[in-house]
Amino acid sequence: MDIYKALKKYFGYDSFKKGQEELINSMLDGKDVLGIMPTGGGKSLCYQLPAMMLEGVTLVISPLIALMKDQVDTLNEMGIEATYINSSIKEEEAVQRARDIRNNKYKIIYVAPERLNAIAFKGLTQDITISLVAIDEAHCISQWGHDFRPSYTEIPRFIQSLKARPTVAAFTATATTEVIEEIKRLLALQNPITSVTGFDRPNLFYRVVKASNKFAYLLDYLNKQGEGVVGIIYCSTRKTVESLVKQLKDKGIEAIGYHGGMTPEARQKNQDTFIFNRTRIIVATNAFGMGIDKPDVRFVLHYNMPQNMEAYYQEAGRAGRDGEDSQCIMMYSPSDVVKQKLILQNEYMSIEREKLLYKNLQYLIDYCHTNDCLRGRILTYFGERIENRNCGKCSNCLEAGETIDITVEAQKI
Ligand code: ADP
Ligand code: MG
């Protein structure tokens, strides 16, 4: 079958998004790939479509246990035979699924990296034909990236243990040149076709705010949003999440919290509440959001500055996945810098790594202070060259004129 026909048949789309076609064709030719596509760029389809066209099964490795069920349900609704194996399913259910997998019931199997080298799973994978191994959120293998998951380092050993080496495909939205090299090396990708679709998200408006009273700014901002406008507020600590939720409630604004200190059940519940629009605002730590495909998020506001540009880009990128105009607001305060530095100081690490983390933090601090185009700063971080130094869609480009006027005024005084 031709890939356009398959695209229409399985997913109902008429055309590919940028980068998808090249990556899919390479995988179908049996070539390893590394796909760097922006948040919302359509990475899932890049492995789901070949999965339907290749013989045997596709194994999808993903760190997102909480999302696997949703992803698989969505595929099942489209008539695609998919399942998942992770720690959330009961023993008997896992045994049943393994039996079905042996009977070739499924084309796509999602698996958590922790499972890969478990004896039962290894035995199972020896009995079936795996044509493609797709690694989602591949930056999690890099210690230099912002979201290292130790279990990701299990992946190469697992791939090596398979009786025939499948095609290996890795995907991520964030990777600096160093991280790209590390992904290729650690996953032992073989002459991978690397496609960098670019990092720009033209529908996102970037703003940096230095407010002396953060909460007052936030309140004013939220009140200015129309009824039903959906947004994410990121905080750096669990404590801030909880107190902000309470403060907002006191002001009559309904919001729910999400952080790593909550039970998995409570987290799942609040995630669903937000995803299914029962609450329009979620206040969260960075534990929230990876892999979530909620299209209509209109703003992502950072109440505290995160640790580096990669984290910021990922988190802010959860706005506007439907392509509609959306806002990314970073609230800067010097105390956040102090907080981030304390976190770094308390971590045990090599001098080399410490230097890098400080450098990455500094880049974000500079982002908060620059008068240059904010979009330009983001793209430059990821090694993209920008031609137009005035994007017209960030607070610096839009308000540059005003700032100068004020300065002139001030000089006159
Ligand atoms: P990410 O790259 O962030 O993982 P997803 O794979 O979740 O992005 O895809 C984002 C959205 O784009 C999804 O809603 C998906 O259905 C949609 N999408 C993917 N490919 C296409 C396509 N070729 N045409 C239209 N929509 C697409
Ligand atoms: Mg994704």
- Tens digit of each residue's pLDDT (9 = 90 or more) over 283-320: 999 999 988 889 999 999 999 999 999 999 999 999 99
Contact 89, 98 (CB under 8 A): no
- Taking the C-alpha atoms of residue 56 and residue 364, their distance in angstroms, rounded to an integer, is 45
* pLDDT computed for residue 64 by the predictor: 83
Judge residue 386's burial from the number of C-beta atoms within 10 Å of its C-beta, 0-12 exposed, 13-18 middle, 19 or more buried: middle
Q: Is the pTM of this model over 0.80?
A: yes
- Taking the C-alpha atoms of residue 102 and residue 118, their distance in angstroms, rounded to an integer, is 17
Q: What angle do CA 234, 237, 242 make, to 5 degrees?
A: 80
Structure-token pair, residue 47? 């492995």
Contact 29, 55 (CB under 8 A): no
Q: Which atom of ligand 1 is nearest to the CA of 40?
A: 3
- Which residue minimizes the CA distance to atom 20 of ligand 1? 42
Beta partners for residue 204, in sequence order? 326
163 CA from centroid of ligand 2 (Å): 29
User: Crossing angle of helices 309-316/374-381, nearest 10°?
Assistant: 120
The b/e string for 331-348 (b: 16+ C-beta within 10 A; e otherwise) is bbbeebbebbeeebeeee
Residues 204-233 have pLDDT tens digits of 999 999 999 999 999 999 999 988 899 999
3-class SS at 284? strand
Contacts of 174 (CB under 8 A, 6+ apart): 139, 145, 146, 310, 313, 314, 382
Contact 265, 217 (CB under 8 A): no
Give pLDDT < 70 ranges for the chain.
Answer: 400-413
- Please indicate whether residue 42, judged by its CB atom, sits closer than 6 Å to ligand 1: yes
Contact 128, 104 (CB under 8 A): yes
Contact 147, 136 (CB under 8 A): no
- Please indicate whether residue 205, judged by its CB atom, sits closer than 6 Å to ligand 1: no
- Which residue minimizes the CA distance to atom 25 of ligand 1? 13
* pLDDT computed for residue 138 by the predictor: 95
Q: Which atom of ligand 1 is nearest to the CA of 293?
A: 7
Structure-token pair, residue 179? 């991280």
* pLDDT computed for residue 400 by the predictor: 67
Contacts of 107 (CB under 8 A, 6+ apart): 51, 52, 57, 58, 80, 81, 82
> Residue 178 CB: number of other CB atoms within 10 A?
13
- Which residue minimizes the CA distance to atom 1 of ligand 1? 40
CA distances to 152, 204, 298 from 329, in Å:
32, 10, 11
- Please indicate whether residue 317, judged by its CB atom, sits closer than 6 Å to ligand 1: no
- Please indicate whether residue 47, judged by its CB atom, sits closer than 6 Å to ligand 1: no
DSSP label at 115?
A: G
Instruction: Among 45, 74, 296, name the best residue to mutate to test ligand 1's pocket (greatest count of ligand atoms within 8 A of Cβ).
Output: 45
- Please indicate whether residue 43, judged by its CB atom, sits closer than 6 Å to ligand 1: yes
- Please indicate whether residue 40, judged by its CB atom, sits closer than 6 Å to ligand 1: yes
Contact 344, 232 (CB under 8 A): no
3-class SS at 74? helix
Contact 182, 144 (CB under 8 A): yes
Closest CA to 54 of 79, 25, 34: 25
- Please indicate whether residue 176, judged by its CB atom, sits closer than 6 Å to ligand 1: no
Ligand closest to 8 (CA) is 1
Cα distance from N-terminal residue to C-terminal residue, the chain: 73
- Which residue minimizes the CA distance to atom 15 of ligand 1? 42
Contact 297, 247 (CB under 8 A): no
Contacts of 220 (CB under 8 A, 6+ apart): none
Contacts of 217 (CB under 8 A, 6+ apart): 209, 211, 331
- Please indicate whether residue 70, judged by its CB atom, sits closer than 6 Å to ligand 1: no
Place of tokens 């008539």: 79
Contacts of 310 (CB under 8 A, 6+ apart): 139, 145, 146, 174, 176, 179, 360, 381
Contact 286, 146 (CB under 8 A): no
- Please indicate whether residue 293, judged by its CB atom, sits closer than 6 Å to ligand 1: yes
> Residue 138 CB: number of other CB atoms within 10 A?
31
- Please indicate whether residue 294, judged by its CB atom, sits closer than 6 Å to ligand 1: no
Judge residue 314's burial from the number of C-beta atoms within 10 Å of its C-beta, 0-12 exposed, 13-18 middle, 19 or more buried: buried
Query: Maximum CA pair distance of the chain?
Result: 82
